[in-house]
Amino acid sequence: MLVYWAAGHIKEVLYQMPCFCGCDRSKGHGSLYDCFTGLHGIGCGTCQMEAVFVFEQLKLGKLPAQIRQAMERGEWSVNLSEYVNQHYDGYSRTRCVSKPKADWPKNATQPQAATRNSIRKD
């Protein structure tokens, strides 16, 4: 997933960011980084938007403290569908081993879903 790829490149900054989905209370998460060390981030649009926001702000040269302040002001909303559509083509050519389902050959099998044991925690 594109968001997990981005999160993997900015771990040290995600660790400094709050998450506003409520996972701190429901899952015991201490930062936005925790949302992407397991499977929580796969199903949480809030966490995905926050991670993309942080990734894009870093690309613009913002410092972690500036990004955190913007997040606390509620400026982290991102249109995920639009973001993925804009970036997926380049991402799939450089990072993915499989193509989107519509492009798979008829005899291909679907990739296996990630399991808790297959998620890297480094």
- Written as tens digits, the pLDDT of the chain (122 aa) is 678 888 888 999 999 998 888 887 888 888 888 888 888 888 888 899 999 999 989 989 999 999 999 999 998 887 877 777 776 655 444 444 444 444 434 443 444 444 444 444 44
pTM of model > 0.85: no
Cα(92)–Cα(100) distance, integer angstroms: 9
Instruction: Please give the Cα distance from 41 to 32 (Å, whole number).
Output: 9
User: What Rg value do the Cα atoms of the chain yield, rounded?
Assistant: 15
Query: How many Å apart are CA 121 and CA 77, to the nearest integer?
Result: 27
